[in-house]
Amino acid sequence: MDDPADPIVGIRFAESGPVAYCKPGGLRLGVGDYVVITDDRGERLGWVVIAADQVAASEHPGPLRVVDRLATEADVEAWREQKRRAQEDILRAQAVATRSDPRIRVAHIEYNLAGTKADLTFTAPERVEHDWLRRQAADLLDCEVRVQQVGDRDRAKAAGGLGVCGLALCCATWMTEFPAISIKMAKDQDLAPNPSKISGVCGRLLCCLSFEVEEYRELRGGLPRVGKNVTTPVGRARVLSINLLRGVARLRLEHSGEVVELTTDELRSQFGTAVRPAELEEVVEAPIRERQSRLDRDLVAVLTPVEERRRPARVVVEETASVEVIDLEADDAEDGAILAEGGEAGEAGEADDAPRKRRRRGRRGGRRRRGEGGVEGAETPEGAPTD
């Protein structure tokens, strides 16, 4: 295990390639120094991109390679010559690969300083077996070849070129790793999901979609989505568009069809209070109000005025062996009818002293008739005991 106290430098072997951490081997190296390092692929030329005082030893545990020497002018010239050779051999290797499998596209060839070993990468629509390519490339290049299949992004990184923005490809100039890109990133930045506009020269989604997506999401935070229905103090509305760069949101009122504009700051401050999602009222608040209304109907008595109804009086008339119930209202109606008939008869000249029907009244349970000391005129029934 290496001593953590030993100085460590970061070295890059290809432009925008990964950084390899190595021990300087007693050399005082600074950023930009060209060095030669020996690995399993032979001698390779690289340059220092991270100085010893800029590296934290805890970031790269494990054994590290040691810098052999500072690169000489002959080493730099040999490196340039091998790069020119690789550019010419790519076309030759592509011709050989096409004759056997037209799906294969040779992406990159890299030689070591001596030109005795080479690394060849290629792309294909699907995974292919490439042992035959390694053998044919070794015969063609007259050296030991290591073949590896890579993706379309790696091919664009190795080939270089200009992007849709007119500048050099980010992956070929400064990016060391490819970020994960999804179509959702384009939607979060209000970009149309048109593959021809959001794809790079590699045919994949633009890597730059990941550069500003977090800022867009931060600006959009607290705002309703486009196409959502919201409730406002003047009625329901639909969000038509939100321009995050201008800071303007457009809403269409449902009842009048009028389109209104609000600043995103105003809409953000009112969202959740004055302006709320329509689903909040339909899904959350409506069931709560219905449940509360049902509880009120079940648990709270409602007092309503009731029209007072007059109950007919009931009088019990007693006779010796039975009890008769007389409805006074019916009797009063009968008396009124009799009086009316009497009045009409009086007008016709009939006598007014017509005998009236007598009503006998008594209490429930009966009352014994008394001969003496009783009601005057009352007779004692025959056989009844007397006092």
pLDDT confidence bin for 387, thresholds 50/70/90? very low
Q: What counts of helices (H) and strands (E) characterise the chain?
A: 11, 16
d(CA 353, CA 142): 156
Question: CB of 120 within 8 A of CB of 148?
Answer: yes
Tell me if 197 sits within 8 A of 240, measured CB to CB.
no
Give the other-Cβ count within 10 Å of 186's Cβ.
Answer: 19
159-198 pLDDT, tens per residue? 888 888 889 999 888 888 898 999 999 988 888 888 888 9
27, 61, 68, 318 from 23: Cα distances, Å: 9, 12, 10, 132
On the CB side of 381, how many CA atoms lie within 13 Å of its CA? 7
pLDDT number for residue 380: 47
Q: Supply the pLDDT for residue 187.
A: 87
Q: For the chain, how long is the longest CA-to-CA vector? A: 165
pLDDT higher than 80, residue 121: yes
> What CA–CA distance (Å, rounded) separates 378 from 372?
9
Bridge partners of 148, per DSSP, are 121
Q: State pLDDT tens for residues 279-330.
A: 767 666 667 767 777 777 776 555 666 666 665 555 554 444 444 444 445 5
Report strand pairing: 229-232 vs 235-243: antiparallel
Q: How far apart are CA 133 and CA 105, in angstroms?
A: 12
- Helix, strand, coil tally for the chain in percent (to 5): 35, 25, 45
Sketch out the chain's domains with CATH numbers.
9-71 (no CATH), 78-150 (3.30.300.20), 174-218 (no CATH), 221-280 (2.30.30)
- C-alpha of 167 from chain center: 36
Percent of the chain predicted with pLDDT > 90? 26
pLDDT reported for residue 303: 60
Q: Are 186 and 135 in contact (CB under 8 A)?
A: no
Least confident range of 36-45, 92-101, 141-150, 352-361: 352-361
87: left (phi over 0), alpha (psi -120 to 50) or beta: alpha
Name the band, by pLDDT with cuts 50, 70 and 90, for residue 372: very low
State the helix-helix crossing angle for 131-141 and 73-100, rounded to 10 degrees: 130
Tokens of 325: 């119930």
Q: What's the pLDDT score for residue 72?
A: 92
**For residue 333, how far is the Cα from the chain centroid?**
80
Q: How confident is the model at residue 373 (pLDDT cuts 50, 70, 90)?
A: very low
Sheet holding 259-263, edge to edge: 259-263, 248-253, 235-243, 229-232, 276-277
pTM of the model: 0.60
Residues in contact with 52: Cβ distance below 8 Å, sequence separation at least 6, in sequence order: 7, 8, 9, 24, 29
Which residues have CB under 8 Å from 63's CB, separation 6+?
Answer: 1, 2
Amino acid making up residue 344: E
